[in-house]
Copies of this chain bind each other. A is one copy, B any other.
Amino acid sequence: MIKAGIIGSTGYAGNELVRILTGHKEVEIKWYGSRSYIDKKYYEVYQNMFQIVDDVCMDDNMEVLANEVDVIFTATPQGLCASLVNEEILSKVKIVDLSADFRIKDVATYEKWYGIEHKSPEFIEEAVYGLCEINREDVKKARLVANPGCYTTCSILTIYPLAKEGLIDMSSIIIDAKSGTSGAGRGAKVDNLFCEVNENMKAYGVATHRHTPEIEEQLGYASGENVLLNFTPHLVPMNRGILVTAYANLKEGVTYETVRAAYDKYYKEEKFVRVLDKDVCPQTKWVEGSNYVDVNFKIDPRTNRIIMMGALDNLVKGAAGQAVQNMNLMFGFKETEGLELVPMFP
């Protein structure tokens, strides 16, 4: 039984971490960090946890925490983890950072897209990009894992086999992504009020969204090419779920069978990536509450484009579930421990 601390436990991703870890046999949460609710009972912030969690919220003190737990999850805004981490801390504790601080290898790119200075660039190289299906072996050895973003996880896993196998023109990729509103966090903003989101749909961050370089970098590694692509996020009136519809030009001679074989090659043995039957389009509801990513594709022979589709629960595989999957690998637990969550429908 290891001990875990969560910095930022009262955001939506933090609460999802609590939900998942509560059912995990090898972990006990010892620290519910939340700057906004220090000394308040955790269940008073999230009444779903009434009679399940009786702890009070603590400050975000990573130094103290490093002495008390084996793993720290940082589910905080960009910049916080980078500003707190140091060698002493990393020598005592493993960290799964759910923010973007260590996802992008090029500091300049990070600083440009996020508009903040990186406070500990010395750990970027060491940090492992925690997409378990792709970097499993590295994750197992990591002290510091950069847990991928929700849009990113869905986008990369949807496109990865084709990028890796060289089946698509990497300069032709367009990702049109749709997200439930929990991805926007629990901050009190007019834009996220029920009446503004309900019965409404919009694109946002068009051509400027911060997840773009993260996707480009990872697909670049997969394809061995420099990748520039379009990524357009949309806000959807639902709580959870990300749906990615991605487009690319197929290389010559690529058939349904070639593509299917590529998906199977990388995902057949993967518990959490489900390649759906032919012609079945992913739906976000089919993965809700679970750590699954459902992917599939369709070829349009008229335009010779492939339409790739992926769906996941942004708070599970897109955040907390993936973080636990990473932790499982880092500590040598069964990779699926705590994550055998059956999707809830309806």
- A residues lining the B interface (CB < 8 Å): 12, 15, 19, 22-23, 46-52, 174, 176, 178, 180-182, 186, 188-190, 192-204, 206-207, 228-230, 232, 234, 236-241, 243, 245, 247, 274, 276, 280-290, 294, 298-300, 302-303, 305, 307, 309, 311, 340, 342-346
**Bound complex: CA of A181 vs CA of B238, how far in Å?**
14
**Bound complex: CA of A176 vs CA of B280, how far in Å?**
18
In the complex, which residues of chain B have a beta carbon less than 8 angstroms from the beta carbon of A181? Answer: 193-195, 198
In the complex, which residues of chain B have a beta carbon less than 8 angstroms from the beta carbon of A302? Answer: 207, 228
A178-B234 contact, Cβ under 8 Å, with A50-B274, A50-B276: yes
Q: Are A48 and B345 in contact (CB under 8 A)?
A: yes
**Bound complex: CA of A176 vs CA of B195, how far in Å?**
23
Name A283's contact: one of B19, B201, B343 (CB within 8 Å).
Answer: B201
A-B contact pairs, 9 of them (CB 8 A): A12-B346, A19-B344, A46-B345, A48-B342, A180-B199, A198-B199, A201-B311, A207-B302, A236-B237
A212 to B, closest residue via Cβ: B302
Name A188's contact: one of B189, B200, B207, B241 (CB within 8 Å).
Answer: B189
Q: Are B189 and A192 in contact (CB under 8 A)?
A: no
Q: Are A243 and B345 in contact (CB under 8 A)?
A: no
Name A232's contact: one of B274, B276, B307 (CB within 8 Å).
Answer: B307
A199-B241 contact, Cβ under 8 Å, with A281-B206, A342-B19: yes
